[in-house]
Amino acid sequence: MALAATEIFDRLASAVIDLLRTDEVRYANAGERQVVSELFVRMRPLFPEWTVSNEYDRREQEQKRLRHRIPETGVDRDAPITPDIIVHRIGKRENLLVIEAKRHINKDREGDVWKLSGMTTLAGQYGYALGVHLILNVPAGTVDACDVYVDGAFEPALTAQLAGKLPR
């Protein structure tokens, strides 16, 4: 990982805070896709040495897929995936950050956890250094929850570090 977790979290927190303080975004109370798109726009300039992509569904010339065990059930799953936001270097196995974001009203988190666990497994298909799951309460301007994943597992210490930077 070319950047330390603290630097990644500082940049991500800056983008999230900017998003949640934008009156137009809060007023519109937009859906998940629009909120993720707005977060993506704010992240791009904060990671100038990386490519920041949203709704990125390709791996080279193929549709992005993930074969990974569902942590809660132990069942293997193989499915196409489209991560909300990724910070990476296209064409190389240099994958820094994968983000899955949900609006606070969306309670379906199982697919996001499976995706983040699989995409951050270092010996797996993608090997992202960090995965972040965000639950955004846009009207309130807060982050209701965040979880950080490293090497396929929930990481409580890094979760606490990121949570401390976000509006609660």
DSSP E strands: which ranges in the chain? 51-54, 58-59, 62-63, 65-69, 76-80, 85-89, 94-103, 130-137, 142-150, 153-154
Q: What pLDDT, on a 0 to 100 scale, did the predictor assign at position 166?
A: 98
Q: What pLDDT, on a 0 to 100 scale, did the predictor assign at position 58?
A: 63
Q: What pLDDT, on a 0 to 100 scale, did the predictor assign at position 70?
A: 78
- Within-domain flag for 52: yes
Residues of the chain with pLDDT under 70: 1-2, 58-61
Residue 131 φ then ψ, to 5°: -125, 140
- Within-domain flag for 109: yes
Which of these, 43, 104, 113, lies nearest to 83 by C-alpha position? 113
Q: Which domain holds residue 126?
A: 5-56+63-163
The tally of domains found in the chain comes to: 1
Cβ-contact 22, 34 below 8 angstroms: no
Q: Domain with 128 in it: what CATH number?
A: 3.90.1570
Q: What pLDDT, on a 0 to 100 scale, did the predictor assign at position 59?
A: 63
- Within-domain flag for 118: yes
- Within-domain flag for 168: no
CB atoms within 10 A of CB 121: 21
Ramachandran sector of residue 49 (left: φ over 0; alpha: ψ -120 to 50; beta: rest):
alpha
Q: What pLDDT, on a 0 to 100 scale, did the predictor assign at position 60?
A: 63
- Within-domain flag for 32: yes
